[in-house]
Structure 1
């Protein structure tokens, strides 16, 4: 295994571990398992490739589900996959320089679009009850990311930390 692949795996594991810590900070809601687990994965777009930051985000959601007692059962696997996609796309948009579009996608993708399957899988009432909590949690995670991401970007662009 090459040193760069090992470095990527270690950084991904470290980001996932920070996501686990965030999973203990819950955002109160009626039907959701919203927490501050995704901000570290969103921040990792400064130094991880899309797939790796997405994996960290998916693991962060699974940690939140675990610390919440898996209230949605096997649907948490779907939610983790959605988290992987949202984080990876956010990463791609960030790396391509879409300063506004990435935030719109992040908030709508994680706060509304990710809940749409549950409109059909569970019920419209579940969807309507879940979206406000998801939006609030997404906005909080996005605000944390918006504060920290420019600092991380500056650290990596100035060469204070070697890029991967």
Structure 2
């Protein structure tokens, strides 16, 4: 792994911490804009770095929000990493809209599914509106920014 790649991953982790501070009003205080940098990192430097940024970003978001679900946030962090990985794999094949739709559906309806059995139907249904808004905001911002940032972050100097 080269220095540029490590620096970019570190930059996206730092941006994820900033995004984790921008909360979406929700039943649980860990819904935030921490996935924007993870999705952009995935689009620009690969699925594994994007997944790593997503995992770390969610844990920081949960920490900032007071870890309301306790150790369950580690499960959610793994889910976020898997969703970021899936998004990146599909996005990098030129199917950004499909990747976005799958990410929104996965983050809104599938990732809170374990809590349907743990905390009940009320909690699950109560989380859906804020997760939908958060997923849409994260995805739209990532789509808008990743294409514009590709030229900045992946700029290759031409030799004359």
Q: 1:15 to 1:161 in 2, by over 3 A?
A: farther
Name structure 2 gaps, 5 residues minimum.
none
From 65, 68, 75, the counterpart of 2:65: 68
Match of 1:104 among 95, 101, 106: 101
Deviations 1:6-41 (CA, angstroms, capped at 9, x unpaired): 443332222111100111111111235211111011
Structure 1 residue 155 displacement after superposition: 4.2
Cα displacement (A) at 1:161: 4.4
> Gaps (5+ residues) in structure 1?
none
Task: Decide which of 28, 51, 68 is 1:31's aligned counterpart.
Answer: 28
TM-score when normalising by structure 2: 0.90
2:144 & 2:32 partners in 1: Cα distance?
Answer: 18
Matched, 1:12 2:9: yes
Corresponding residue number in structure 2 for 1:95: 92
2:148 maps to 1:160: no
Which residue of structure 1 aligns with residue 138 of structure 2?
Answer: 141
Asked if the contact 1:107/1:142 (under 8 Å) is kept, the reply is yes
Q: CA RMSD in A?
A: 1.7
Alpha carbons of 1:48 and 1:131: their partners in 2 closer, same or farther (altered >3 Å)?
A: same
Deviations 1:76-126 (A, max 9, x none): 000000010000110100111113211111111112111111111221211
1:59-82 CA-to-partner distances (Å, cap 9, x unmatched) read: 100110000000000000000000
Q: CA deviation at 1:46?
A: 2.8
Q: Tell whether the 8 Å contact from 1:31 to 1:129 is kept in structure 2 after alignment.
A: no
Distance 1:137 1:161, change over 3 A: farther
Residues 32, 134 of structure 2: 8 Å contact kept: yes
Distance 1:122 1:161 in 2: 50
8 Å CA contact 2:34–2:61 kept in 1: the answer is yes
TM normalised by structure 1 equals 0.88
